[in-house]
Every structure is written in C-alpha cells, then in structure tokens.
Amino acid sequence: MRLTLEIWRQADTASAGEMHTYDVDDVSEDMSFLEMLDVLNERLNAEGEEPVAFDSDCREGICGMCGLMINGEARKVRVGNDEERADLERQLRREARAVFSRRIKVRADEMGVTPTSLQVRDQKSRWGSASKDGALSLSWRLILCPAEILDYLVVHELAHLRYGGHGKRFWQLVERHYGDHRAARKWLDEHNDEIRQALD
C-alpha cells in the first residue's frame, strides 16, 4: 500500500515551519498512523534526513493541522469543533484497541502470561493497569506516543500479571522483555501534559 502523508515540520518549537508531503510504501491497512509514521522515519534516517520528531513536528493530529491520505482516501485529523473532536477521539480509540490488542498478543506470548481482557479508557492519573484476574486497561492516548513507548507500557502491564508490585523481580522482568525502561519512563514524564491534553 502507498501512503501520502502531509505533515507540519519545524526544526524546533521556536522555529518557523511548513507543510511537507511524503509518499511512503511498504505500509498496510492494519497499521496505525503511528506505525506508518515509523516506516517514514526509518526511510528518512536511511536517507540521512531528520525524522519526524514528537516534540516539534506534528504527530497524530495533535496540532490539528495534519492531513493523511491512505490509498487516495482522506483521513480526517483536523479538529474544528467539539463534534469533530469527539469523532476523532472515537476513531483514535478504535485504532488504539486494534494496535494494543496486537502488541499485547505478541508480548504476552513472549512473556508467558495470559491476559483475559482489555479495556481502552481515558485514565487521568495513570497510563494503564492490570488486575489479578488478568484484565488489562490502557489509556487510548498511548496511541499518540511513539511505538516504543506504547510497547513499554504493554510490557509493564503484562509484567504485573506475574508480579503485583514494583519490586526488583518486576523490573527485572520488564528489562528482560523491553530493555532500558528508564528512558521510556522519562519520556512519559516529559510528555505527560502534551499527551493528556491532546485534542483538548
């Protein structure tokens, strides 16, 4: 599938910016916008260009200016009023459920745990949770994060199916299956307000 992406680019948050158009191949319909953007970033890196950066460029329509075309069909990411905002949030929630479900299946198999259900919510004080009976809950707003951050949260919550608290064995399990979780936690701390206020 061929993706045409129109996205706002600027060197940093203080610089002037402009819209750029990119054609991206090797994407599929079941990919999220974020996963498609990761394909673009891999190409930009390979070509020696700056990848799309979350802190200055627009991702997932957060700034309300980006437009996306998939197979020539427009996908609305502009938010002009409350009704459009609600429509976009519903769309992102559906996308979040699909992406989360795929990542949970892959990671649960690797980690040898068995989640029983998934809820996609809008938690105000946490990104996710896991219950003793295997029920997982993740914030839909994680779909606005880079793929590696989402993956960290999936591994984190799945690790709770084995260890309830945040003890040494819990973090060892997270590190074994994710790697350096400290960078992901730092990113979430630094971008907390930005993600939680997206679409507001």
Please, what is the average pLDDT of the chain? 80
Q: How many CB atoms within 10 Å of residue 54?
A: 19
Mean pLDDT of all residues in 74-99? 73
The pLDDT value recorded for residue 34 is 66
In this structure, how many other beta carbons lie within 10 angstroms of the beta carbon of residue 28? Answer: 10
Q: Where does the pLDDT of residue 65 fall: very low under 50, low under 70, confident under 90, or very high at 90 and above?
A: very low
The reported pLDDT for the residue numbered 117 is: 96
Q: State the pLDDT confidence band at 95, using cuts at 50, 70 and 90.
A: confident
Cα dist from 89 to 60, 101, 105, 132, 196, whole Å: 11, 18, 24, 29, 12
What's the whole-number mean pLDDT along residues 8-32?
72
Question: Of residues 7 and 172, which shows the higher confidence score?
Answer: 172
- Of the ranges 25-29, 46-50, 92-96, 151-155, which one carries the lowest mean pLDDT score? 25-29
Every domain of the chain and the residues it spans: 3-75, 94-196
**Domain with residues 94-196, CATH architecture:** 2-Layer Sandwich (3.30)
pLDDT at residue 21, rounded to an integer: 83
pLDDT (tens digit per residue) in 32-41: 666 777 788 8
Q: Please check the confidence at residue 5 and state whether its pLDDT lies above 90.
A: no
Give the pLDDT of residue 53. Answer: 66
Residue 34, judged by CB atoms within 10 A of its CB (0-12, 13-18, 19+), counts as buried
d(CA 116, CA 94): 19
pLDDT tens for 156-185 read 999 999 998 999 999 999 999 999 899 999
Helix (H) or strand (E) holding 61: none
Name the H helices within 25-146.
33-46, 82-111
Nearest alpha-carbon partner for 178 in 195, 163, 164, 158: 158
- Note the pLDDT of residue 74: 40
Q: What is the per-residue pLDDT across 143-156, written as a single tens digit (0 to 9) for each?
A: 888 888 889 999 99
* DSSP for 117-149, written as a single string: EEEEE--SS-SEEE-TTSEEEEEGGGGGS-HHH
Measured in whole angstroms, how far is the alpha carbon of residue 185 from the centre of its chain? 14
pLDDT at site 50 = 82
Burial 95-134 (b: 16+ CB within 10 A, else e): bbbebbeebbeebbeebebebeeeebeeeeeebbebeeee
